[in-house]
Structure 1
């Protein structure tokens, strides 16, 4: 079985579960750290000719991270393309099962069963809070409706302010974000790399939680640690 992955989180899931199956992955596929495969460009601008030349049995993609036009070209070249759709934590488990089975996994991996058990056992949040969750600046963009990251936060007791916005990733002026007066501003390190020196200064007087984008937005082995890691970052921000 030869697989090309166009999604970093799926790359990690397949590599951990089925070593040696991946023939290609994007430049953004940085997990596992020792992944040795042909690089095929970005998630939004893959080198289609290079993917075709690898002659994979399967290309795995995601409806949000990858462009339909690129996937159509791959299909036209005769490649089998599996496209995932993940908007909630339960979606992630369903789609991971589907992807790993399609990639030849003989059984459900232990890490996936552990991750599902961890999320199923989450206690009722001790407190609930509101949040603004920027994912980009210049211009400022935030989590809106119907996102995986939004569902992750909701299960940890965090209601993000723009959850009912008609757009999934709306552009919102900084003054409006500040005026929302959230309990916390959640600043992930991807897709925009917010840091202690780049992000919190835009929200004076508001607690800011710098969080791992891998734990907030990836659906793969990181799901086993995500509740603990994210909850810890949120607690630290509000001390």
Structure 2
């Protein structure tokens, strides 16, 4: 089986579970560290000629990560694709198990078993906190309904104030984000790289948790440590005081 992955989290999952199967990945596939495979450009604009030249048996895609036109072009060229679209932690765990089996894994890898355990053992009595989750600025984009990251945060005790929005990624103005009166502003470091100096200043006097985008949005081996990593980051917010 020759696999090209255009999804960083799936690249990590396949590389760790089925060494030697992966024959190509995107420039953004940074895990596992030291991964040495041919690169085919970005997730949004891959070099499809380069992908085809690798003669893959299947190309791994994700509805949010990749463009429909690239998937259609690969299919039209006779290249099989496998598209994933988990919107909850449980769906991610199920899709990962199914995908790895399809690619030749004889059983669930240890990391997937550990991920199931890590998420099953989360306490269920966490006091809820109201939160907004910007994932981009200029313009501001927030986490809305029916997203994998939203389910991750829900399971960690947060109530996303845009979870009932008609759009999955609404674009509310900054004054509306502030006006929702969140108890916490969650600022991931991807896709927009929020930092202590770029993000909290937009929400003066509000606690802002700077969190790992990889642990919030990736569905792969990072799921093992995601509950502990995110819980610690959510528990240590910073507050910018307007002056």
Q: Contact 1:125–1:156 (CA<8 Å) still a contact in 2?
A: no
| Deviating 4+ runs (over 6 angstroms) | none
In the alignment, does 2:155 pair up with 1:172?
Answer: no
The residue aligned with 2:149 is 149
Q: Using the alignment, how far apart are the partners of 2:214 and 2:39 within structure 1? A: 20
What is the CA distance between 1:69 and its match in structure 2? 1.1
The residue aligned with 1:25 is 25
The residue aligned with 1:80 is 80
The residue aligned with 2:221 is 221
Q: Using the alignment, how far apart are the partners of 2:221 and 2:145 within structure 1? A: 25
Corresponding pairs, count: 239
Q: Using the alignment, how far apart are the partners of 1:56 and 1:101 within structure 2? A: 17
The residue aligned with 2:68 is 68
Matches within 5 A, 1:206-217: 206-217=206-217
Farther-moved stretch of structure 1 (197-206 vs 37-46): 37-46
In the alignment, does 2:27 pair up with 1:51?
Answer: no
User: What root-mean-square deviation, in Å, do the aligned CA atoms of Structure 1 and Structure 2 show?
Assistant: 1.1
The residue aligned with 1:99 is 99
Give the gaps of 5 or more residues in structure 2.
none
The residue aligned with 1:124 is 124
Post-superposition CA distance 1:97-116 (Å, at most 9, x none): 12211221121101101101
What is the CA distance between 1:238 and its match in structure 2? 7.4
Q: Contact 1:89–1:151 (CA<8 Å) still a contact in 2?
A: yes
Q: Using the alignment, how far apart are the partners of 1:176 and 1:207 within structure 2? A: 17
TM-score, normalized by length of structure 1?
0.97
Q: Using the alignment, how far apart are the partners of 1:19 and 1:198 within structure 2? A: 39
The residue aligned with 1:4 is 4
Q: Using the alignment, how far apart are the partners of 2:125 and 2:39 within structure 1? A: 41
What is the CA distance between 1:209 and its match in structure 2? 0.3
What is the CA distance between 1:79 and its match in structure 2? 1.1
TM-score, normalized by length of structure 2?
0.96
